[in-house]
Amino acid sequence: MNEQAAPGRVGDVRRRNLSLVLDSIARNADAKPSRAQVAAGTGLTKAAVSSLVADLVESGLVSEVGLYRDGERGRPGQGLELSSRRGVVGMEINVDYLAVGLVDLGGNLRFSSTVESRNRGLKPGAVMEQLAELAGQAKAAAASAGITILGGGLAVPGLVDEQRNIVLSAPNLHWEHEQLNPQALLEGAPLGVRLSNEANSAALGELWYGDGPADFLYVSGEVGVGGGVIISSELYTGPGGSAGELGHIVVHPEGPSCSCGGAGCLETFAGQEAVFEAARIPEGSLGGRTELLLAALAADEPHAKRAVRDAGRYLGIALASSARLMDIEAVVLGGHFAVLADWLKPSVLSSLERYAPGLLEPESLTVSRLEHSGTLLGAAGQVIRAVIESPFEFLLGKPA
Amino acid sequence: MNEQAAPGRVGDVRRRNLSLVLDSIARNADAKPSRAQVAAGTGLTKAAVSSLVADLVESGLVSEVGLYRDGERGRPGQGLELSSRRGVVGMEINVDYLAVGLVDLGGNLRFSSTVESRNRGLKPGAVMEQLAELAGQAKAAAASAGITILGGGLAVPGLVDEQRNIVLSAPNLHWEHEQLNPQALLEGAPLGVRLSNEANSAALGELWYGDGPADFLYVSGEVGVGGGVIISSELYTGPGGSAGELGHIVVHPEGPSCSCGGAGCLETFAGQEAVFEAARIPEGSLGGRTELLLAALAADEPHAKRAVRDAGRYLGIALASSARLMDIEAVVLGGHFAVLADWLKPSVLSSLERYAPGLLEPESLTVSRLEHSGTLLGAAGQVIRAVIESPFEFLLGKPA
DNA sequence: CCAATTAGTTTTCAATCTGAACTATATGGG
DNA sequence: CCCATATAGTTCAGATTGAAAACTAATTGG
């Protein structure tokens, strides 16, 4: 007998409805809905909602926030919200910085801190030590605000094995199959620390806390070119968990060889390194290469303009192919591409028009406004979503 | 309040378990499992399974097939199977033929019939009239075998709006936004007729009734180049339902313009028309263009060999990009590509090795063995799966 | 101050699973 | 031939849980 699905038990109904109620409170966080409003929104009866909310309040996931008098008549309701006294720590390792943020269950960034750090080539251990210091700051901030930390999310710019806490490959850090121990960053957090990919986390951040629609492709132009695919408000990771590698789509069969071993990849045309080089902005320039590039663009410097135009053209090709294959209807530009958006967008759009006319509307190509915090929010958000999706685990084993 | 998920009711548990039991019987069709075996396989108790099976038998979806004595001692079980007296009609409209098949719930092709028909440029009405004749044959076959027809699936080589029975675009038939009335093909079938895309149906046929693994990309080289993406044993259709359009991935930025309005699409290098032309096999050749091409390849004719090699090279590029973007781990070649596989595979593999080394193992590039019946089985299978996934609907309103 | 209105709780009921006890039907050794 | 053993399948009590309806609580406005 080959089976997979678990049998439905009577108690599953309650698990599902606990999640449904919690999700409803999360979605309507602005309204601080009452039990009656949650009942109307979910389709459950008031009686059922009362019972479910009682469990959620007892577990500490939901708080009552005083009376709520909005209507004209009748008894006022008790406003409900995800507890602001439970939080998750978002963390990010990137090529030239480290960052942490403390996010409460409601998705508010209550504390954050970033330090520059040239991590390329450093051993994971050394980087994790530095990150632990930052995590300590977040823990201190949580303690002084009376927030219990439930868990954490750690985003890295590479492919990860989430189950086993391994960074399979992060070429821009020069990491290859590195075992990490992210749990050590937050000793004692009941949900532990979840490892994730940077572009994927940024995409989720955009979905939950930015302007992302239910279906879009997030394009992250950090040192590498990464992507995150959101379908029906869920991250699409593919069977092996490494979907969204937009940077290694082949955009020219005679293109230069790529660090991935292939050739003609988008990253060889639109990666930061390729753009800086084509724009003739040497490595180690004083004042920062990005700033110099922006200055050159503002000054109409021809190499810079051409470099960005070409990057946009090939990005357009990759987006056209992606849209055909995955039926993508919207694109959000992040990272480096968000910074360059004013110069990049026109050539991306004209390239899309040439290679896939009518497929993507110009309005559906948007630019992220979350900047770096998007990745932190997304990394933490994955743990928050895990709580919202199965709050049952919290009902008995309540954290202090 | 913005909500989507439906609340869990107590009765949902039974709906889910009915499906679970039916699915277990379907998966283990070879074993004709007993109630006790289903209980062991699903994790439900014998008591629950007995009650669920009673409902399924009463509805006519499941039959008992005599005693089952396999063990050494003890009371023998009643073997269970999906009823062979309930069936679904699979139908296909393609550019140069029409086909129907009668498939019972167990997935056995009980009757099939194909006729050649040059449908390109014909009005949908004329084609549907011809198809109705074939459907009549299937109905007659069902009647004489005592099979009740529950519904049907109709596959067409183009993009469809499944909800509204519209063929949005089938360029190779010269159809554009055509309203069909597939229900008329099977008057009175309780589940109606479901419209679907040919490549997607073929992919599902491969998954359910062929050798397809749980995750793969099916590539259909009919007149156009189509694709179907299977992820975790489910068809990935994308937010708008048009995912898998492999034929219009851009494989060369300076490539020729394409019927889709774009340029450099895979179809302009690897579509049937492009291959025949490059191989210098003129339209309307006596003996069939495919047969002539195979003969030319067998005779080492240089234009033919080059045409197929180039098609393979560009197909390899498209597969490399697809694998990066969607994390695809296996590919099944179907249609024209299956016929040409012996000559095509080497160049596809060397192209993959050049553009995405190590990404796809050579063994994971396989060739479909279902041929045309794959599409019929897939089209019908979608209705069969719908029954397996929600058998509850059948419990009260039982078809005769 | 009371009618109207809305929030939330209590009570009764039905659905449905689990678990244990029970019945049904086979095999095989004495 | 018969009974211990084993396996299949059924019956029934018990627990969980949401629906529906009746009820209590709290507020506004005339």
Asked whether residue A11 carries a pLDDT value surpassing 90, the answer given is no
Taking residues A24-35, what's their average pLDDT?
A: 94
CA distance B316 to A66: 62
Contact check, Cβ <8 Å, B7/A245: no
**A23 interfacial to chain B (CB closer than 8 Å):** yes
Q: What is the pLDDT of residue B71?
A: 62
A87 CA from D19 C1′ (Å): 35
A391 CA from C8 C1′ (Å): 23
Q: Do β-strands B159-161 and B97-104 pair in parallel, antiparallel, or remain unpaired?
A: unpaired
Q: Sheet holding B193-197: strands in order across?
A: B109-116, B97-104, B86-93, B148-156, B193-197
CA distance B41 to A103: 43
Q: Do β-strands A365-367 and A331-334 pair in parallel, antiparallel, or remain unpaired?
A: parallel
Q: Do β-strands A109-116 and A97-104 pair in parallel, antiparallel, or remain unpaired?
A: antiparallel
Q: What is the pLDDT of residue B288?
A: 83
**A27 interfacial to chain B (CB closer than 8 Å):** yes
Contact check, Cβ <8 Å, A1/B320: no
Cα separation of the two ends of chain A: 43
- Rounded to a whole number of angstroms, the distance from the CA of A87 to the nearest CA of chain B is 25
Specify the nucleotide whose C1' lies closest to residue B14 (CA). C16
| Amino acid occupying residue B155 | A
Task: Give me the half-sphere count of Cα atoms (radius 13 Å) on the Cβ side of residue A175.
Answer: 26
Q: Are A82 and A25 in contact (CB under 8 A)?
A: yes
Contact check, Cβ <8 Å, A215/B239: yes
Among chain A residues, the shortest Cα distance to B356 is held by: A262
Taking residues A28-42, what's their average pLDDT?
A: 94
CA distance A379 to A157: 12
CA distance B238 to B326: 12
Asked whether residue A239 carries a pLDDT value surpassing 90, the answer given is no
Q: What is the pLDDT of residue B373?
A: 92
Q: Are B369 and B305 in contact (CB under 8 A)?
A: no
- Rounded to a whole number of angstroms, the distance from the CA of A24 to the nearest CA of chain B is 7
Across chain A, mean pLDDT equals 93
In this predicted model, what pLDDT tens digit does every residue of B152-169 receive, in sequence order?
999 999 999 999 999 998
Q: What is the pLDDT of residue B221?
A: 87
Contacts with A238 from chain B: Cβ below 8 Å: 215, 231, 326-328
Q: What is the pLDDT of residue A371?
A: 80
Look-up of token digits 């800086």: A276
From chain A residues 56-75, the ones with a CB under 8 A of any chain B CB are none
Tokens of B241: 């339902």
Q: Sheet holding A109-116: strands in order across?
A: A109-116, A97-104, A86-93, A148-156, A193-197
Taking residues B27-43, what's their average pLDDT?
A: 94
Please tell me what DSSP assigns to residue B159: E
Of B254, B260, B253, B249, nearest to B318 by C-alpha is B249
- Rounded to a whole number of angstroms, the distance from the CA of A160 to the nearest CA of chain B is 13
| pLDDT band (50, 70, 90) for residue B59 | very high
Contact check, Cβ <8 Å, B246/A329: no
Q: What is the pLDDT of residue A398?
A: 36
Asked whether residue B223 carries a pLDDT value surpassing 60, the answer given is yes
**A7 interfacial to chain B (CB closer than 8 Å):** yes
CA distance A280 to A217: 30
Taking residues A228-232, what's their average pLDDT?
A: 94
Asked whether residue A397 carries a pLDDT value surpassing 80, the answer given is no
| Amino acid occupying residue B363 | E
Q: Do β-strands A225-231 and A216-221 pair in parallel, antiparallel, or remain unpaired?
A: antiparallel
B370 CA from C27 C1′ (Å): 44
In this structure, the number of other CB atoms found within 10 A of the CB of residue B321 comes to 32
Please tell me what DSSP assigns to residue A117: -
In this structure, the number of other CB atoms found within 10 A of the CB of residue B126 comes to 11
CA distance B258 to B265: 6
Among the partner residues A20, A43, A253, nearest to B252 by beta-carbon distance? A253
Among the partner residues B24, B48, B325, nearest to A245 by beta-carbon distance? B325
A76 CA from D26 C1′ (Å): 7
Q: What is the pLDDT of residue B259?
A: 84
B77 CA from C30 C1′ (Å): 28
| pLDDT band (50, 70, 90) for residue B260 | confident
In sequence order, what are the beta bridge partners of A151? A88
| pLDDT band (50, 70, 90) for residue B394 | confident
Cα distances (Å, whole numbers) of residue A265 to A113, A252, B54, B89, B312: 34, 7, 58, 45, 19
A50 CA from C7 C1′ (Å): 11
- Rounded to a whole number of angstroms, the distance from the CA of A218 to the nearest CA of chain B is 12
Q: What is the pLDDT of residue B172?
A: 85
Among chain A residues, the shortest Cα distance to B228 is held by: A325
In sequence order, what are the beta bridge partners of A367? A333
Residue A242: exposed, middle, or buried by beta-carbon count in 10 A (0-12, 13-18, 19+)? Answer: buried
- What is the maximal distance between C-alpha atoms in chain B? 73
Interface size, chain A vs chain B, as Cβ–Cβ contacts under 8 Å:
203
> CB-based contacts of A232: which residues, under 8 Å, 6+ apart?
A214, A215, B239
B51 CA from D12 C1′ (Å): 14
Q: Note the strand D nucleotides within 7 A of protein beta carbons.
A: 5-12, 15-22, 25-29
In this predicted model, what pLDDT tens digit does every residue of B174-183 receive, in sequence order?
999 999 999 9
From chain A residues 325-344, the ones with a CB under 8 A of any chain B CB are 325-329
From chain B residues 289-318, the ones with a CB under 8 A of any chain A CB are 313-314, 317-318
Report the alpha-carbon angle B338-B341-B345, nearest 5: 135
Among chain B residues, the shortest Cα distance to A254 is held by: B252
Of A252-256, A295-299, B258-262, the poorest mean pLDDT is in B258-262
Asked whether residue A346 carries a pLDDT value surpassing 70, the answer given is yes
In this predicted model, what pLDDT tens digit does every residue of B66-89 receive, in sequence order?
877 666 688 889 999 999 999 999
> CB-based contacts of A14: which residues, under 8 Å, 6+ apart?
A52, A392, B8
Tokens of A382: 């994955």
> CB-based contacts of A220: which residues, under 8 Å, 6+ apart?
A198, A199, A202, A203, A226, A227, A228, A334, A335, A337
**A11 interfacial to chain B (CB closer than 8 Å):** no
Contact check, Cβ <8 Å, B7/A44: yes
Report the alpha-carbon angle A337-A338-A341, nearest 5: 80
Asked whether residue A110 carries a pLDDT value surpassing 60, the answer given is yes
CA distance A263 to A252: 8
Tokens of B30: 């070879």
CA closest to C1' of D25 belongs to A75
Contact check, Cβ <8 Å, A317/B250: yes
Of A145-159, A277-291, A335-349, B253-267, the poorest mean pLDDT is in A277-291
Asked whether residue B2 carries a pLDDT value surpassing 90, the answer given is no
Tokens of B239: 């937010």
Tokens of A153: 């999310």
CA distance B210 to B107: 11
Q: What is the pLDDT of residue B75?
A: 87
- Rounded to a whole number of angstroms, the distance from the CA of B400 to the nearest CA of chain A is 30
Q: What is the pLDDT of residue B400?
A: 30
- Rounded to a whole number of angstroms, the distance from the CA of B300 to the nearest CA of chain A is 26
The percent of residues in chain B predicted with pLDDT above 90, rounded, is: 84
Contacts with B324 from chain A: Cβ below 8 Å: 245-246, 248-249
Taking residues B121-149, what's their average pLDDT?
A: 97
Q: Are B271 and B247 in contact (CB under 8 A)?
A: yes
Residue predicted with more confidence, B127 or B241: B127
> CB-based contacts of A364: which residues, under 8 Å, 6+ apart?
A329, A330, A331
CA distance A316 to A322: 10
- Report how far Cα A305 is from the mean position of its chain's Cα atoms: 30
Q: What is the pLDDT of residue B241?
A: 86
Contact check, Cβ <8 Å, B261/A27: no
In this predicted model, what pLDDT tens digit does every residue of B312-324 receive, in sequence order?
999 999 999 999 9
Asked whether residue A54 carries a pLDDT value surpassing 70, the answer given is yes
Q: What is the pLDDT of residue A393?
A: 85
Among the partner residues A240, A244, A317, nearest to B253 by beta-carbon distance? A317
Across chain B, mean pLDDT equals 93
Specify the nucleotide whose C1' lies closest to residue B52 (CA). C16
Chain B interface, best mutation among A197, A327, A389, by max B CB count within 10 A: A327
| pLDDT band (50, 70, 90) for residue B4 | low
